[in-house]
Structure 1
């Protein structure tokens, strides 16, 4: 049973999350992909309602409206007749949010028994083998310079091993919703780096969509004191 959960976590969680996120960046940009990935609390909310067999609360319905509204603004800039964000970028960005919810929910039972580092390591191996087989990496010839190798090392060590491991440690300690709240610094840092380093445009209406989507995390995490 644990092995089956590990395989699901490796493929639907880690592999699917990383691949959809990287593909969303390819079709859009790092900031938009990071923002759309943070639709994951909405998917977690729907899962919670399904498991608990209840209807969404008022604040949850508000978050759904904000999430859909923010996504609409990012994709169209308010013009229903024109897509500013490509369909592929929107599609993979939403899938990245769904995959991030899988990544947060699937390993809970495994982490309670084995911690976070061991399941993450095995999941990376399983996911890498599966994705490598699907992509037939043995047929791909790649020639990289020193900057290419440094970029690969950064993605593997910092962007994958450290980022995923530390996030799961946070999930194990404080739960998926609070971990998502704290990790919400990612879209902000991605936006700042994209504008300052890559000189990519980011308009005020993009900021509005950004705020609408990110506000859902804070609303869902807020609890009234008794």
Structure 2
């Protein structure tokens, strides 16, 4: 069944590559990073709840919930969704997009370390090689191998590392939550908590902007559904079949996916070095499958 887990995680990574399109589209309406982050999780929560009430209402029975589970959902929503957006935005402001992405890409490292602690998951040399390979490919793709494009600001780096930790926490929390809850219910409720958290960082006039402009509203629906709800659901489902650490490594596929989408839809170019980076990331993901078979 691990092949199904790989397929789900790979599909999630590919679809996550559309995140840049949605972000760019909303930024064209002069929305700031906090507003865009709030739109992402709040609309994902609304769409997820609509689906649940129509298709899976029985999965919301009170009997599924206990104090421990509710605490995990709250922590997941705040730490691995809400706080992630705040930390990443502050990192990018201080060190730039390229360095910010590289620091965010440390997420799978934290997932592996935390999986070892909480799930007693075996690391193994092959899994470590897989992570290093995928991270190296990410570095080459994002920087084209030029260390000079990286910016160093101590506070910005701390924000970036914390954003990586926040990103790496999602598989850890979700692995435990979906042992009890249906994955779409778990993911949707996490978005709801994140929306409440992020609501404290936005101007309430945002709601007027959204509901008085049909183009913004349509962009919000796309942003919440395609690069958010669907891939997060697939990612959560994948962890029923593969370890969180493996899913975390595969999630790095989002970066080459975004690069290729930029080529086909935004007329961006991928040179030889970036192409090598993409191939190395794919090699890292293939190695992770070998690692899983040996566990």
* Alignment TM-score, normalising by the size of structure 1: 0.71
* Structure 1, unpaired ranges of 5+: none
Contact 2:130 2:288 in 1 (8 A): yes
Q: Could you say if the C-alpha distance between residues 55 and 10 of structure 1 is closer, same or farther in structure 2, counting changes exceeding 3 Å? A: closer
The residue aligned with 1:161 is 229
1:87-139: CA deviations, max 9, x gaps?
69x96876665433211111222211122122222211110010111x13315
CA distance in 1, matches of 2:203, 2:84: 19
1:15-94 equivalence runs, <5 A: 15-17=82-84, 28=97, 39-50=106-117, 57-67=124-134, 69-74=136-141, 76-80=143-147, 82-83=148-149
The residue aligned with 1:108 is 175
CA distance in 2, matches of 1:67, 1:185: 9
Match of 1:212 among 276, 280, 283: 280
- Which structure has the highest helix share of the two? 2
CA distance in 1, matches of 2:214, 2:76: 33
1:92-171 equivalence runs, <5 A: 97-133=164-200, 135-138=201-204, 140=206, 142=209, 145-171=213-239
CA distance in 2, matches of 1:225, 1:60: 10
CA distance in 1, matches of 2:87, 2:203: 18
Contact 2:126 2:290 in 1 (8 A): no
Task: State the number of aligned residues.
Answer: 219
CA distance in 1, matches of 2:142, 2:232: 28
Contact 2:115 2:245 in 1 (8 A): no
* Alignment TM-score, normalising by the size of structure 2: 0.57
User: C-alpha root-mean-square deviation of aligned residues, in Å?
Assistant: 4.0
CA distance in 2, matches of 1:170, 1:53: 19
The residue aligned with 1:202 is 270
* Structure 2, unpaired ranges of 5+: 1-67
Higher relative contact order (CA 8 A, sep 6+): 2
